[in-house]
Amino acid sequence: MSNGDRVVLDTSAYSRMRAGNTAVLDWIATAEAVLVPAIVIGELDAGFELGSRAAENRVALAEFLDEPFVFALDVTPRVARRYAQVFARLRRAGTPISINDVWIAACTFESGGVLLSFDRDFDAVEGLPRAALVSG
């Protein structure tokens, strides 16, 4: 399985998928597995808490996560070790990114997938398998 067969959604990709973004939908349509890091689920739920449609958004996320081809990525000891490596590399290079994005990158590396993201901060993560999507 090539890593394009396993796609990892970050928060921006999930949000745009829900809005009908064709680039994200095309990636998902051709993937064997769609992976959602627990960190992304937390970011989404935090956004739901602050929004006016929390219950509706939680239902939509739960239904998406229940799809047979969608899997939540947990933080495991291997992911934590990868986090430490990515964090240290970014800090040494003087290009730190948000802590949540470091966790998402670590999950992506460990999953063997390709990250779908509109977030340019991931440009700083050397070797990260990623589809850098652009708004438009």
**Measured distance CA(107)–CA(38) in Å, rounded:** 9
Q: Which of 47, 102, 21, 37 is nearest to 76 (CA)?
A: 37
The strand pairing partners of 9, in sequence order, are 116
Q: Under a CB-based contact definition with an 8 Å cutoff, are residues 118 and 13 in contact?
A: yes
**68's tokens:** 């047979």
Tens of pLDDT along the chain (136 residues) come to: 355 699 999 999 999 999 999 999 999 999 999 999 999 999 999 999 999 999 999 999 999 999 999 999 999 999 999 999 999 999 999 998 999 999 999 999 999 999 999 999 999 999 999 998 887 5
Task: Provide the β-strand partners of residue 72.
Answer: 36
Residue-level pLDDT at 4: 62
In terms of phi and psi (left: phi > 0; alpha: psi -120 to 50; beta: otherwise), the region of 59 is alpha
Domain 3-132 has CATH 2.40.50.100: no
